[in-house]
Structure 1
Amino acid sequence: MDPNERQFVLKKFSAYYSNANIQIPSINQREFGFGNIKKIDARHLSFGSAEAFRTYLVTNTPLFVSHSAAYYERPDATPMERKGILGADLIFDLDLHAEGKYGVYAMLGKVKDDAIRLMEDFIVSDFGISKKEIILVFSGNRGYHIHVRDTDYLGLGSEERRELAEYANGIGLNYLNFFDVSGPKRALRIIGPKESDSGYRGRFAKAVIRAINEKTQTFSRKFSNIEERERFTNGIKEGNWSKSSVSDILERLKPIAEQLPIRSIGVDTSVTQDIARLIRVPNSIHGETGLVAKIVPLANIDSFNPLDDALAFGTGANSILAIEFNEDVPQLNFAKSSVGPFKKGEKKELPESISLFFVLKGSAKVIL
């Protein structure tokens, strides 16, 4: 962006921050970082109050705003050892990488599905954390952040945090370890997980029962026989996996086991284990998109679409901004409408949220 264009964009950011709903627990114990060229150009900053923080955003208007996962006695002290750590939120980061500058935006639903699974199957079910202690945040660009503010987890060290992320990713998981197999080959006794088991064991048992009933012939034609199917699934409910005439049944169930971890996107272990990590401030603007790193109400998570619901700027006829494209841009579904495709050199008048999105992505410039 040239200086005039940058000044125009920053005024829009400043106007947003003058009214934005940004609430950071224990703000006076957080370290802050800000960026205009990089995501974090400066850190080791602190604020005594929410009002002081808002004043900084309105006056200085950085493109990127981050705060520490950790709480400190002296958040602005350097080096890090002098800060006096008091604990840290548990952070999970799911980011999607896709081909091209805009490929990710058609796949954000996939990241959201993994975020929901991570919350419900792992954080709540396996880790025993109440949803009241969980904040789900769209990252403002390619994924979601999950902030866990449960006091029982604040004191975890880096190693324990890494183990939690690796557990969710299924690192070291071998479903065959769920089973105790004994007896001769023609009369194997296979004792394994039940639906009522916790963690991966219970999820595997439930997933197998569901798959056998819904995709009866995927694993063996024998399961098209209702008696064979019911005998096997009823046995699973008791932890007895021997009640199938399919000789290599455990090997055939491997595809189900492969779907158990959060592997399609994957939890970024480096973010979770880094206690000194700075994470994007919820409800701040992402400087590469102009989208809000929006807190997603858990009651509305199924219907949430960031390209409709995380817009910082205007979308109506009263907020039109003229831009000129400096590269070809594909069609996108944005602000509840179909946008594009656009050609290099094309000039368009679009709602501010859409225009500034393309400007911040580096695909267009503002016509001033």
Structure 2
Amino acid sequence: MNLNERRYILSRFSDYYSNADFRIKSIERREFGVGNSKKIDSRHLAFGSVSEFRGYLTANTPLFVSHSAAYYHFPAATPIEKKQRIGADLIFDLDIHAEGKYAVYSRLDEAKQDVIRLLDEFLLGDFGLSKNDILIVFSGNRGYHIHVTDSEYLLLEGDERREIVNYVRGEGLRYEDFFEWGEEVPKKLYGPRPDEGGYRGRIARSIIEDPTRLAPKIFADEGRRRMFIEGIKEGDWSRSSMKLSDIPKKVANIARSLPVLSVNADAAVTHDMSKLIRVPNSIHGETALIARIVEDVEKFNPLDDALLDKKRQLSVVFNEDVPPLEIAESTFGPYKKGEKKELPESVALFYILKESASMI
């Protein structure tokens, strides 16, 4: 990105920030960080109001802007001990990782499914949180940030936050311990029921959905499958011609291989309260996509709803071959090195910031 491109991009970011919808809880208690050459070049910034923050972004537009998960008495103080932490939101960072510049963007729906699972199964289900205490934000690039602002979680220390994220990730679970032998003769194997909460209910529901995962040949028979499922609904895992002592281990192996049972959240982001997280509704400086607050996660399309501007056009020349990409329900590319195109401005800025294209 050359100087003229940087000036143009930052002027477009500044235009956006002049009217951006910022919803930052207790902004005067947050530490802020900004970056241009990297995501955070400088931190220990503080603002007394949204209007002051907006004025700063409009006049001193950075490529990246983040704020602390924590609330402080003195957010601009250094070193960090002098900030005097009051508490911190509980943050979950759900990202997709893929090789190359563009592969991740065809897989963003995977991150969205993780968000839905985190929300429905864990935050609303296991933890009993209210939707009013949860903020879902598209990161502007590879995934989503989930902010839990419930006061019950505000004072949790790092180790307690680590326990929560490990639970969400399914780490340290012994699925074999979900089973026990009855006293009767012949002995029966008892285990989780689908109507139970937490991982017990999740694993029971996943087995009911497809018992052939346990024994493909046995449960290919509809009668045997139905009898086994009815047993699981009552917590009785004995209604099978399988060797019963094999079931706990087989279930454990299945559970560890099923991503639908857990959520792959970045543990470091959740337990480290000194981390800064991208400001909701700010712009991601590597993509020109807005870190949009998500009101309806089911309907949200990041490569449409997070675009900066859908009306303007901008001409570019490609610096490298680029694969096809679905943006705003249209296919862009593939493009060859040296090819010139007039594109929607948001798409052009995306390619420029990826260093795949240059302004003409």
Task: Report TM bin, short chain.
Answer: over 0.9
Aligned-CA RMSD value: 1.9
Deviations 1:16-70, CA, capped at 9 Å, x for gaps: 1111111111000000000000100010000001000000010000000100000
Pairwise CA distance, 1:99: 1.1
Deviations 1:278-315, CA, capped at 9 Å, x for gaps: 00000100000000001111xx32221111111012x2
Unaligned runs of 5+ in 2: none
Larger displacement relative to structure 2 (82-91 or 197-206)? 197-206
Amino acid at match of 1:352: E
3-state SS, counterpart of residue 126 of structure 2:
coil
CA contact (8 A) 2:138 2:294 kept: yes
Pairwise CA distance, 1:263: 7.9
In structure 1, what is the equivalent of residue 69 of structure 2?
69
CA contact (8 A) 1:31 1:46 kept: yes
Output the CA distance in 2 between the equivalents of 1:18 and 1:255: 53
Pairwise CA distance, 1:220: 3.2
Pairwise CA distance, 1:106: 0.5
In structure 2, what is the equivalent of residue 345 of structure 1?
338
Deviations 1:222-256, CA, capped at 9 Å, x for gaps: 32444422322222122221121111344443454
3-state SS, counterpart of residue 125 of structure 1:
helix
Pairwise CA distance, 1:175: 1.1
In structure 2, what is the equivalent of residue 180 of structure 1?
180
3-state SS, counterpart of residue 194 of structure 2:
coil
Amino acid at match of 2:301: N
In structure 2, what is the equivalent of residue 278 of structure 1?
276
Output the CA distance in 1 between the equivalents of 2:261 and 2:18: 40
Q: Cα 1:101–1:217, aligned 2, differ >3 Å: closer, same or farther?
A: closer
Pairwise CA distance, 1:219: 2.5
In structure 1, what is the equivalent of residue 7 of structure 2?
7
Match of 1:312 among 308, 312, 329: 308
Q: Cα 1:261–1:85, aligned 2, differ >3 Å: closer, same or farther?
A: farther
TM-score by length of 1: 0.92
Larger displacement relative to structure 2 (145-154 or 171-180)? 171-180
Larger displacement relative to structure 2 (261-270 or 355-364)? 261-270
In structure 1, what is the equivalent of residue 347 of structure 2?
354
CA contact (8 A) 2:93 2:146 kept: yes
Q: Cα 1:262–1:72, aligned 2, differ >3 Å: closer, same or farther?
A: farther
Output the CA distance in 1 between the equivalents of 2:226 and 2:330: 48
In structure 2, what is the equivalent of residue 34 of structure 1?
34
Deviations 1:90-149, CA, capped at 9 Å, x for gaps: 000011110111010000001111111111111111122111111111100001110000
In structure 2, what is the equivalent of residue 205 of structure 1?
204
TM-score by length of 2: 0.94
Q: Cα 1:30–1:241, aligned 2, differ >3 Å: closer, same or farther?
A: same
In structure 1, what is the equivalent of residue 231 of structure 2?
235
Pairwise CA distance, 1:174: 2.1
3-state SS, counterpart of residue 284 of structure 2:
coil
Identity of aligned residues (%): 55
Output the CA distance in 1 between the equivalents of 2:260 and 2:210: 19
In structure 2, what is the equivalent of residue 258 of structure 1?
256
Q: Cα 1:32–1:208, aligned 2, differ >3 Å: closer, same or farther?
A: same
| 1:121-200 equivalences in 2 (<5 Å) | 121-181=121-181, 187-200=186-199
Output the CA distance in 1 between the equivalents of 2:213 and 2:12: 57
CA contact (8 A) 2:170 2:263 kept: no
